[in-house]
Amino acid sequence: MALDISDGWSLYPLGGNTGTAFMGTKASQKVFLKQNASPFLAALSMEGITPRLVWTKRLASGDVMTAQEWLNGRTLRRSEMREQRVARLLHRVHHSHLLHDMLLKVGGRFTTPAQLLGRLQPALASDLRQHPLIQSAFAALQDEQPQLPKTDYEVCHGDLNHKNWLLSDRRRLYLVDWDAATFADPAYDLGALLCEYVPLEEWQRWLQDYGERLTPDLLARVNWYARIHCLTVIADSFHQQRFQIMNQHLILLEKLTRESVTD
């Protein structure tokens, strides 16, 4: 796609699924450019959750290009997602009044347990729907939907892949790629992250690092959203024929389902 931001900037695609991220250079300047980035990027920048916003420009096409400070660094390794700094930054996201107000202002969507279940059912291949564990897990999820009122929903990132966490050379941690941002139960983010990166025996320790009191209600909600995440990965892995990943999540799903019954 040809983009004209003029003013002498040269653009270099950075890859990715959407093809909307670029490195921009002009003389000695270097910035990270994103086409049609999340509209509350300014609030994220002000909170220090993403790299600093430098400028925003509307293109002749009507698209919007944002430029952020270019930071040398790297994405987090899978093992680093277990660390306290990850938990603490996510807590800041979930409890930021500025992010909440800005996402509300730009018409942020809500994600509810019923919506997640509604998306999940057609995503499961017919072979998977006949699997006894998946049948019982899905039935339990329908019966045990969290009842947190929408007034208690917070800004959730929605895609906490380790590659969306940027550690700068100065050891500053950032969370990027906010295209999936939504209002949801914070346990929506927590369950997905724990499911993917933290051994089950470390979940309570990680949640303590996150900074919330470990009430039975919170633990039950995290368990519920973790099971939803497991089933989503199982469905995707089946379609992609990544059966090792599918089986790993089936084992975790069985443990989480058993745990939800004994709590």
Active site residues: 159
**How far, in whole angstroms, is CA 66 from its chain's centroid?**
21
Cα–Cα distance between 17 and 74 in angstroms, integer?
Answer: 19
Cα–Cα distance between 176 and 129 in angstroms, integer?
Answer: 35
Write out the E strands in 5-153. 10-13, 21-26, 29-35, 53-58, 64-69, 73-75
Cα–Cα distance between 208 and 185 in angstroms, integer?
Answer: 18
Cα–Cα distance between 41 and 167 in angstroms, integer?
Answer: 18
CA dihedral defined by 33, 20, 38, 48, rounded to 10 degrees?
Answer: -40
Contacts of 72 (CB under 8 A, 6+ apart): 168, 169
**Closest by Cα among 137, 119, 155 to 227:** 137
Would you call 22 helix, strand, or coil by DSSP? strand
